[in-house]
Structure 1
Amino acid sequence: MKNITRYLGLALKLLVFLLVLGFALKNSHSIQFNGYLGQVWQAPLIVMLGLAFVLGVLTGVLALLPSIFRLRREATRKGRENDLDITITQPDIPVV
């Protein structure tokens, strides 16, 4: 069963790759991007879309970094507190 799911995952990845490749080949004409201060860039449409995707992912990751670090600090602190609780609290009554 494990091999079947791995092969299905590979087939799905191949299908997505082929769809993106076909999209790139159909949209290979050059477009013009007008930036600030009169900057003009010309590149294929798929390059501009890929650049926009990468910039969006980087922006999302940067926006999540403070939350990730805060949660990591809290988890570490709670782990230390749990370790201290285990070592400090010992039963006073002997177990028979």
Structure 2
Amino acid sequence: MRIIHWIFRAAVFFVLFAFALNNQHAVDLNWFFGVSTHAPMVLVVLAAFAAGCVVGVLAMLPGWWRQHRRTRALEAAVPRSAVPQPATPAGQPSEAELPHPPRDGL
């Protein structure tokens, strides 16, 4: 399955690369107030794609922040004792039974 995924990625890359090679001619960009510029077609398409990605991410940010705040509030509301502890193998004491809690980073 991983091979098929990489073959698909390579095919998409080569299709986009061929598109870029076939569209190297310059185009006229007519802006407002009579301003016009010349740019390669590839750069115009790339700039439009990048602008669309930026607008999409900016449109999703409020929802991400709202979800992050909601998740943090729910995590703070759940007491630590309510979180299930992982099972310990037979014969080994759990963290609650140890005389001193284990130190992190040692």
TM-score of the alignment, normalized to the shorter chain, above 0.5: yes
Instruction: Name the structure 2 match of 1:94.
Output: none
The residue type paired with residue 63 of structure 1 is A
Number of residue pairs aligned between Structure 1 and Structure 2? 83
1:28 match: secondary structure: coil
Query: Which amino acid counterpart does residue 24 of structure 1 have in structure 2?
Result: A
More helix by share: 1
Distance 1:33 1:83 in 2: 60
User: Is 2:43 the counterpart of 1:18?
Assistant: no
Q: Which TM-score applies when normalising by structure 1?
A: 0.77
Q: 1: distance between equivalents of 2:67 and 2:35?
A: 41
Q: Percent identity?
A: 28
| Larger RCO (CA under 8 A, 6+ residues apart) | 1
Structure 1: gaps spanning 5 or more residues: 88-96
Matching residue of 2:46 = 50
Report the alpha carbon displacement of residue 68 of structure 1 after superposing the two structures with TM: 0.4
Structure 2 unpaired stretches of 5+ = 84-106
Moved over 2 A (4+): 83-87
1:6-43 alpha-carbon deviations (Å, 9 max, x no partner): 22211111100100011111111110111123322211
TM-score (norm 2): 0.70
CA RMSD of aligned residues (A): 1.8
Instruction: Pick the structure with greater CA Rg.
Output: 2
Measure, in 2, the Cα distance between the counterparts of 1:16 and 1:35: 32
